[in-house]
Amino acid sequence: MNLLLLEPEEASGGEVVLHGARARHVREVLRLDVGDGLRVGVVDGPTGTAEVLQVGPDAVRLALRLGTARPPRPRVDLVLALPRPKVLKRLYAPLAALGVGRLHLTNAAKVERYYFDSHALAPAVIRERLLEGMAQARDPRLPKVEVHRSLRALVEDHLDPVYPEAKRLLADPVYARRASRAAAAVGPGRRVLLALGPEGGWTAFERDLFERHGFVGVGLGPRTLRSDTAAVALLAIVHEALEP
């Protein structure tokens, strides 16, 4: 944990009392004592520092010094064909750590219907895993997660009002254009909306749907990756290419 995350209601005063896992983390992993400092962030709020005021067996009391501005949302949003529940659970933290503004989990031809009934889509599970990645990467911005049962409705109706200006990239092994080249050509400050398919890729019908809605196809070269590896690789490559 590189950033101690606080809920907005905890951070409204100048002090906070931690219990449970976060108190144990400060005491036993960070091994902080009275007078020590640590980095803190408010979920979807500002970051700052805290000073340890008191360390007890059940609780840790901190004085907060928070900034006023909240950090910008990561520049990349992701449309991701819903992965297998076990894979999805493991992906939330790395995606949040790499940086994603919005995560649209969507149906696709090669997505199994039962994935939608999984525990991996329970809001508490999603939030816990995302917070883990945010704490790792020191980013207090909580990715917004949406679940879409119709890819067509997502692409035809939902995306345009939310992403009027983002550069739209569609990742699939059929495309020769490299993802890094396409992302490097995106102007400064412009957001990127990246769509990544299921195990086995998007179908021709799906690729056509995306292309008719402004998505430009990109690939990752000749090596076909498992969808979870591809998600991490692609997000890393696009962020790296967006850096000035």
Binding a copy of itself by CB under 8 A: which of 139, 191, 193, 207?
Answer: 139
Binding a copy of itself by CB under 8 A: which of 42, 78, 103, 179?
Answer: 179
Q: Which stretch binds a copy of itself (CB under 8 A): 40-48, 54-62, 158-166, 215-223?
A: 215-223
For residue 180, what are the CA distances in angstroms to 21, 65, 97, 165, 184?
Answer: 39, 39, 19, 19, 6
Q: Give the C-alpha separation, 196 to 229, whole Å.
A: 11
Q: Does 243 bind a copy of itself (CB under 8 A)?
A: yes
Q: Which stretch binds a copy of itself (CB under 8 A): 58-66, 153-161, 205-213, 228-236?
A: 228-236
Q: Give the C-alpha separation, 5 to 11, whole Å.
A: 10
The DSSP call for residue 5 is E
Q: Which stretch binds a copy of itself (CB under 8 A): 6-14, 116-124, 150-158, 217-225?
A: 217-225
The residue (of 21 and 35) whose beta carbon lies closer to a copy of itself is 21
Q: Which stretch binds a copy of itself (CB under 8 A): 40-48, 49-57, 109-117, 218-226?
A: 218-226
Structure tokens at 63: 């004085």
Q: Does 130 bind a copy of itself (CB under 8 A)?
A: no
Structure tokens at 80: 């991701």
The residue (of 56 and 221) whose beta carbon lies closer to a copy of itself is 221
Among 58, 102, 59, 57, residue whose Cα is nearest residue 194: 102
As beta bridge partners, residue 29 has none
Binding a copy of itself by CB under 8 A: which of 93, 103, 111, 170?
Answer: 93
Q: Give the C-alpha separation, 65 to 53, whole Å.
A: 13
Q: Does 25 bind a copy of itself (CB under 8 A)?
A: no
